[in-house]
Every structure is written in structure tokens, then in C-alpha cells.
Amino acid sequence: MTQLDLVMAKVRAENRAALIAYIPAGFPTQSGCAKAIQALADAGVDAIEIGFPYSDPVMDGPIIQEAADISLKGGTNAADVFSALKVAADTGVAAVVMTYWNPIEKYGVEKFAQAIADNGGSGVITPDLTIDESDAWIEATNKTGINPIYVVAPSTKDQRLKDVTAKTGGFVYAASMMGVTGTKDAVSSTASQLVSRVRTVTDLPISVGLGVSTREQAKSLAAYADGVIVGSAFIKLLLEAKSEQEGLDSISHLAKELALGVREGR
């Protein structure tokens, strides 16, 4: 059982949703990323996703793309991703990596899974990996005991939902709308419909991502989801900050607000 499994069981027992924060490794700098991770953990997030910066991020919107570009220009590599993962795990929150498949394949499938486990990580979210092409990855995650986390969308057919969730661990990542990541004025109504559909095929916790940026949005999602994922809203604050400390203060304030939101949903 991973730390993520324990966290999701804990929040379920507390009758609330988990708050899951996303930040790319190496953003805004290597040291700045470590400080941001600590600030988020101190502010009350339950889990942290470390993004593996990638040059062709098909699921990411402009805000995360800009952050990834800054990170890549700073020289961020796989070792830095695992280092950031360890920083997150050492705070006591559940820590996972979110990455496209190409960096895993390039690094070595078994080696990548082992590095996640060695650095205290609970699992990996792979948005562009289909279960049909997952045999080697599933074998590696089984061997290392980490969670393989797959993404489902409103367009995913019912039988496919059943097939995908049967191979998922930790939680099911439910993309709340068709499209890329980014803050939205309102979270799509398709999110609740998707969560309801997923619940008919699995008992796994379901976390909703794409578009959450306010306490009210977190509250509305927490009414039916087991986890609320927030990324672009934190990154936007760091991008707009005039100093490192201003950025840290801003994400800390937002995280505290969102932590209240996920507790108000039920």
C-alpha cells in the first residue's frame, strides 16, 4: 500500500476530498520548486504531483506549457524530477509524478518505476499512455509497488472506463472537460457526470482535474469527487509574482483557501 493509498483512505474516512497540487520539477527554479513544494505541503495539500517537463505536452494548456519551457531552459532532467519527488515525499504528503510516456521509455521503463519508489513516490500519472500499450509499465509498477494512474475523459466509453480503471491504482484521474489544462471561470458540468459513470465500474477514489482555481470550485467538486487537482492556478501565481517570496506567499494563501473548500463540499 502506497502513501497515496493511505491518504485517499484517510480523507475518505474524514468524509472529504483530497487536495492535490501540481507543480513542474525545476519551476520556477530548482531551489524555487523545492520551496514551493514545502509551501504547498505546509498550507495543507494532501498530495503533490511533480510534473516532468516535456517539449510536446499535448494535454497541457499555455500556463503549464510556459512553466515547462522555463524549467527545460533551466536544464531540468530526470534526476531533477526524482529530486523534487523526494522533496515532496519528505514533507509527509503523498507524492506522484505526472509524465508523458516518452520520458519513461527514454529513461528505461523498469528503471523509471524503481526510481519513483526509491524516492518515496507513490505512483505515476501517464496521460498519453493507453492500457493497450501498458504491459511493460504494468509489470514494472507491480514489481515496484507503485500506483499506475490513468486518465479518463468525458468521451471515454463505458466499457473502456471499466477496462481502464481495472488497471489503475491510487486513484482514477478524471479530466473534467475535453481540452487542455488551465484555469476556468466555471468547472464543466460534465465532471459530475463522468465521476458518476466511473463510480459504476470501480471502487477506486476518483480525482478531478482541469480548471480548478477557486475555493468555491474546489467545494463544488469535493461534493462528489474524492480528490481535487489544482495546477495551473498555482503556476499562474508563480509566473505573475514579482519576487520569489511573493510567489510563495500567493500559492500558500490559495492552497489554504482550497483546503477549506475541499472540506466544505459535504
* Active-site amino acid positions: 49, 60
Residues in the chain: 266
Cα gap 192→55, rounded to integer Å: 32
Rounded to the nearest angstrom, the gap between the alpha carbon of residue 181 and the centroid of all alpha carbons in its chain is 12
| Residue whose C-alpha cell reads 467538486 in the numeric block | 221
Helix residue ranges, H only, the chain: 3-13, 30-42, 62-73, 78-90, 101-107, 109-118, 135-144, 158-165, 190-199, 215-222, 232-240, 244-264
Residues 6+ apart with CB under 8 A from 258: 19, 45, 212, 214, 215, 218, 228, 230
